[in-house]
Amino acid sequence: MAGGLPRLLRPGTTRAGLIPCSGPVFDMARDRAILVGDAAGVVSPVTAGGIHSAWEHGWAVGRAVAAHLRDGGPAPGQVAIDSAPRFRFKRALRWAYDRMQFDWPFDLLLHSPPLRWAASFESNRNGHWQVYAQPASGGEAVAVTPGPGSNARESVDGRQLPYTKPGLRGLWRLPRQDWSQAILTEEQSLLDGLAPEDSSNWAPARDGVYFVRRPQGEAPRLAHADAEGANVTDIAPLPGGFEGWGFDLSPDEGQLVFSEMTLRESDLRLAVPRTAAQ
């Protein structure tokens, strides 16, 4: 044992129960006992999250008990009831979720021309990497890139399918179309400055694309290119040896999330041969 629990300790008993998300319980305070948190049903009926509300409710009740004992403050049981969130709107939402789950609006959407080919993915099923599309409702996948393709991500307006090419510099695009028909449009180069190691370090935005730019002999930068890839603006410097595995924009496009390698580590491990009896 190197500290903490003994390594071979087995759980004695396992207990589990349902998350109480039907709203605050009716009998929250009685006979000098007050329920708080999960026991009081103070859990969001929509998300079943209760940490924050248990914390707030517990504090409110704790303060009320202290105030009552010290200064004759209001009855803590009543404070517990009054301070428990009612979740009226969320309970109504839960009620609706439980009773009114319709598939038809989504089915309709799935069969509309733009979404019929909802899925695009990369595959090397033919020996080289290409971008494929598959009908959302199932069926044969078809190769949509005329040559190599990988890391496809639709543009925000859904009209373009930008992608990279494995091991090559640049970002290409095809206009989104009914992929079941012969693909008549030629691929276009969208950005020529995207390095092969940044093949996933770009994110489509409403007004273009964010990406990593690596000018010759200089530190890389976070940059933005307009929808035609013509005007490129540097936004922020990145560390010299920047290495990352993906970009994404928050839905309001106010934040860019990206991963970054900050530390490489390796472990020295000890293998102990087992005896026949083990």
Ligand X SMILES: Cc1cc2nc3c(=O)[nH]c(=O)nc-3n(C[C@H](O)[C@H](O)[C@H](O)COP(=O)(O)OP(=O)(O)OC[C@H]3O[C@@H](n4cnc5c(N)ncnc54)[C@H](O)[C@@H]3O)c2cc1C
Would you tell me which residues interact with ligand X (CB under 6 A)? Answer: 19, 37-39, 43, 49-52, 54
Closer of 54 and 65 to ligand X (Cβ)? 54
Is there a contact between 209 and 225 (Cβ–Cβ < 8 Å)? Answer: yes
Minimum distance between the CB of residue 19 and ligand X, rounded to whole angstroms?
5
Q: Any long-range contacts for 143-151 (C-beta under 8 Å, 24+ apart)?
A: 144/120, 144/174, 144/179, 144/183, 145/172, 145/174, 145/187, 146/183, 146/186, 146/187, 147/187, 149/122, 150/122, 150/199, 151/122, 151/199, 151/200
Cβ 91 to ligand X shortest distance, Å? 16
Alpha helices in the chain (DSSP H): 51-71, 76-83, 88-99, 104-110, 113-116
Query: What residues form DSSP beta bridges with 120?
Result: 133
Q: Residue 33 or residue 39: which is nearer to ligand X going by CB?
A: 39
Tokens matching residue 240 = 């010299």
Cross-strand partners of 30? 33
Nearest distance, CB of residue 22 and ligand X, angstroms = 13
Minimal distance, residue 33 CB to ligand X, in Å = 13
Quick one: 84 or 191, whose CB is closer to ligand X?
A: 84
Our CB check for ligand X shows the closer of 13 and 275 to be 13
Minimum Å gap between C-beta 94 and ligand X is 15
Q: Closest CB to ligand X among 49 and 246?
A: 49
